[in-house]
Amino acid sequence: MNKVVLVDMDGTLVTITPSNKDTFANQNSIDVWDKNTLYALPYQDGIDMVRALYNMGYIIMMITARGASCRPYTIAKLKDMGVYDMFTHVWHRHTRYNGMPSGVVKAAMIKRAVRQYGYDFTYAIEDENHATMVDHGMHVIDANVWNKA
């Protein structure tokens, strides 16, 4: 069985991109918000944790509740931080999950990864959705330890 770590992006590897009720009002607002991912500040503790687990032989998988339109910016940011090549997968929210809470979205994505790849998730590096991760047998590495700067 593969040793796999699930990693979140916002609030875990980088600062959360600010949003409000108008952010998702139209596609132009969403595009601006997606692009602002590039300006998120990295959390070195989270990056170091990814590197350490990768060097220990874990498969590293990004599951983010951000929409698919953010994918190019997520990848660019991971490359900028020097960790993109450590990720076997970078998955974003499918449009069918728009409007659903991130915990619901991530639970569905985890089930898909287990079904599709036979993954056995060992750890989750995450700032929220801890109960979802524990329900799927993961040990949570709580990003709230380092993201309160």
Give the other-Cβ count within 10 Å of 108's Cβ.
16
Residue 17: per-residue pLDDT: 80
Give the other-Cβ count within 10 Å of 119's Cβ.
20
Find out whether 118 and 2 touch, Cβ atoms under 8 Å: yes
Give the other-Cβ count within 10 Å of 106's Cβ.
25
Residue 23: per-residue pLDDT: 63
pLDDT in tens, 72-113: 989 999 999 999 999 999 999 988 888 889 999 999 999 999
Q: Total domain count for the chain?
A: 1
Give the other-Cβ count within 10 Å of 70's Cβ.
23
Residue 27: per-residue pLDDT: 72
Confidence of residue 148 (pLDDT cuts 50, 70, 90): confident
Higher pLDDT: 5 or 69? It is: 5
The overall average pLDDT reported for the chain is 90
Phi, psi angle pair for 71, to nearest 5°:
-50, -50
Residue 45: per-residue pLDDT: 96
pLDDT at 43 over 90: yes
CATH of residue 43: 3.40.50.1000
Residue type, position 40, single letter: A
Percent of the chain predicted with pLDDT > 90: 68
| pTM, rounded to two decimals | 0.90
Mean pLDDT value across residues 48-68: 95
Residue 26 belongs to what domain range?
3-145
